[in-house]
A = this chain, B = another copy of it.
Amino acid sequence: MNEEKLGRLEPVFYPKSIAVIGASPDERKYGSGYLHALVLSGYQGGIYAVNRVSGTCHGVHIYPSLNSIPNPVDFVIVAVPVASVLEVLDDCAAKGVKVVQFFTAGFRETGSEAGRSLETEMAKRAQQGGFRIIGPNCIGVYNPAVKIPYGQMEMVGEAGSVAFISQSGGHGGRLIGIGLDRGIKFSKVVSFGNACDLDCVDYLEYLAVDPQTKLIGAYLEGIQRGKRFLELVRETVATKPLIVWKGGRTETGAEAAASHTGSLASSYAVWKAALEQAGALTVESLEEMVDTIIALEHMGASAGRRVAIVSGLTGGGGGDSVSSTDTFVSIGLEVPRFTSSTLSILETLLPSVGSILRNPLDIGSVGANLDTLRRTMDLVFADPGIDVVIVQQHIDMLLHSLSLEQVHAINDVFIETWQAQSKPLAVVSPAWAAVTEGLEVESKLQSNHIPVYRNLEGAARGIANTVRYNERLKASTIA
């Protein structure tokens, strides 16, 4: 059963050869950009260029037609004007291609009847020709495990276990870009635009059983085959979390979606309720998608509602204690009191003046004393009333009073004390862009699987969503 589902989209994500129709001696053309990225990415399959204009494109020989390529072609990327698409599909059928992806736009999203019926015809020819279509009006597939780059972005990150399906090519690219920055590693990404053939149900069916994928995000403008999609959400979330960001949640936004991917959005409130009821986590921005992916990936099943906050590593943590509490509590998390045993040991560790001996814990300027910091972190992790620990770290401030080595040493304490126990830890570290050394510290935390957030709101909403998923899963397992 799973084998059959995986086999169906195997050539979408693991093509053995790729041809770009529209790659041209003019290297500024979109098709040429796709080819260039494939050449640079390290993709090991066959790479072919097709164009009526002969010559080479980024060092690759240009064939005059698909048919003249001497070897089999699994996957075709099409970047030619809309007028030629039916002809291209006939060539693909003749060649025995398995998947055709259209970067080409100008279909249903233009609002014209001609665009709509052209898509219907394309889907028909795909069925007759025994191949599948991704798009049109999309960027296509990203699969870091086999070095398939995302559109013209030649940089392929490390492979991981997060999948993302997106009706917007731009949002797909932005998520990949943020992922490189914030430590999200992808199993597969696909931008599928107007979805004239393969739609969100097809992609989700595959990813739900894909052993490389542990967590799925989706940006959807219209949802195709709604009833089946909701069933599938229910099946999927039993084994992996699914986060859905629905574009067009306002009326004016829905009009924009119609012009973007020809999607007819029904009421957002109805969709949101249906998706949440089926077990998906709904989010409302790219940032919330990122925050939630990071929390789910790093904290997973061990995240709970009761948060301890440690701030003020080198002073100035009082205001942070107040605002972090406001932020976490107002999103529905708890910042409970420490147990009396924790408190009494804290009193022996930290001075009563200049620190605040409660949760949030403002440890004051003793934060730079590594031994005190280590014992404090151990104690906070061990408190039985705490599920998750948050450290608020202002790297710019730390680097003002400490050396980079000292800041690294402090962060090593976070890593080591976290590794010695089982509760999740997240670090909130704004890292103002000007402080590049801060990024080094951040990336060491990330590579040790400790999530880093740039602001409290992000951490709070990521954790709150993760807790919501966990609580729901527990309730359904009990039921």
Contact A353 B180, CB 8 Å, known A252-B329, A322-B247, A433-B439: no
A436 CA to B400 CA, complexed, in Å: 21
A286 CA to B454 CA, complexed, in Å: 13
Interface segment, one of A65-73, A257-265, A374-382, A463-471: A257-265
A171 at interface (Cβ–Cβ under 8 A)? yes
User: When the two chains form the complex, which single residue of B256, B320, B397, B431 contacts A325, counting CB atoms closer than 8 Å?
Assistant: B256
Q: Are A330 and B250 in contact (CB under 8 A)?
A: yes
Q: Are A394 and B436 in contact (CB under 8 A)?
A: no
Q: Are B326 and A432 in contact (CB under 8 A)?
A: no
Q: Are B319 and A166 in contact (CB under 8 A)?
A: yes
A4 at interface (Cβ–Cβ under 8 A)? no
A181 at interface (Cβ–Cβ under 8 A)? yes
A79 CA to B286 CA, complexed, in Å: 46
A55 CA to B46 CA, complexed, in Å: 77
Most buried by B among A180, A432, A455: A432
- Convert A347-372 into 0s and 1s, putting 1 for each residue whose CB lies closer than 8 angstroms to a CB of B: 00000111010101010000000000
Q: Which residues of B contact A396 (CB under 8 A)?
A: 177
Nearest chain B CB to A365 CB, angstrom units: 8
A446 at interface (Cβ–Cβ under 8 A)? no
Q: Which residues of B contact A430 (CB under 8 A)?
A: 174
Q: Are A105 and B354 in contact (CB under 8 A)?
A: yes
A321 at interface (Cβ–Cβ under 8 A)? yes
Task: Count identical subunits in the complex.
Answer: 2
A147 at interface (Cβ–Cβ under 8 A)? no
A129 CA to B260 CA, complexed, in Å: 71
A238 at interface (Cβ–Cβ under 8 A)? no
A109 CA to B358 CA, complexed, in Å: 13
A420 at interface (Cβ–Cβ under 8 A)? no
A316 at interface (Cβ–Cβ under 8 A)? yes
A394 CA to B259 CA, complexed, in Å: 21
Q: Are A323 and B356 in contact (CB under 8 A)?
A: no
A207 CA to B358 CA, complexed, in Å: 35
Contact A325 B400, CB 8 Å, known A105-B353, A106-B353: no
Instruction: List residues of A (399-431) whose CB comes within 8 Å of B's CBs.
Output: 400-401, 430-431
Contact A397 B322, CB 8 Å, known A329-B250, A356-B256: no
Nearest chain B CB to A399 CB, angstrom units: 11
Q: Are B256 and A432 in contact (CB under 8 A)?
A: no
- Which residue in chain B gives the minimum CB-CB distance to A177? B396
Q: Are B259 and A321 in contact (CB under 8 A)?
A: yes
A90 CA to B140 CA, complexed, in Å: 76
Instruction: List residues of A (421-479) whose CB comes within 8 Å of B's CBs.
Output: 430-434, 436, 439, 455-457
A25 at interface (Cβ–Cβ under 8 A)? no
- Which residue in chain B gives the minimum CB-CB distance to A219? B319
Contact A260 B219, CB 8 Å, known A252-B329, A436-B436: no
- Could you write out 25 A-B pairs with CB less than 8 Å apart? A33-B401, A105-B353, A152-B400, A153-B400, A169-B318, A170-B317, A173-B316, A181-B432, A219-B319, A247-B319, A248-B326, A249-B330, A251-B329, A252-B325, A252-B329, A252-B335, A253-B323, A256-B321, A256-B335, A260-B319, A260-B322, A261-B318, A285-B455, A434-B439, A436-B436
Apart from A256-B321, A285-B455, list 5 A-B contacts with CB within 8 A.
A106-B353, A171-B320, A247-B319, A284-B326, A436-B436
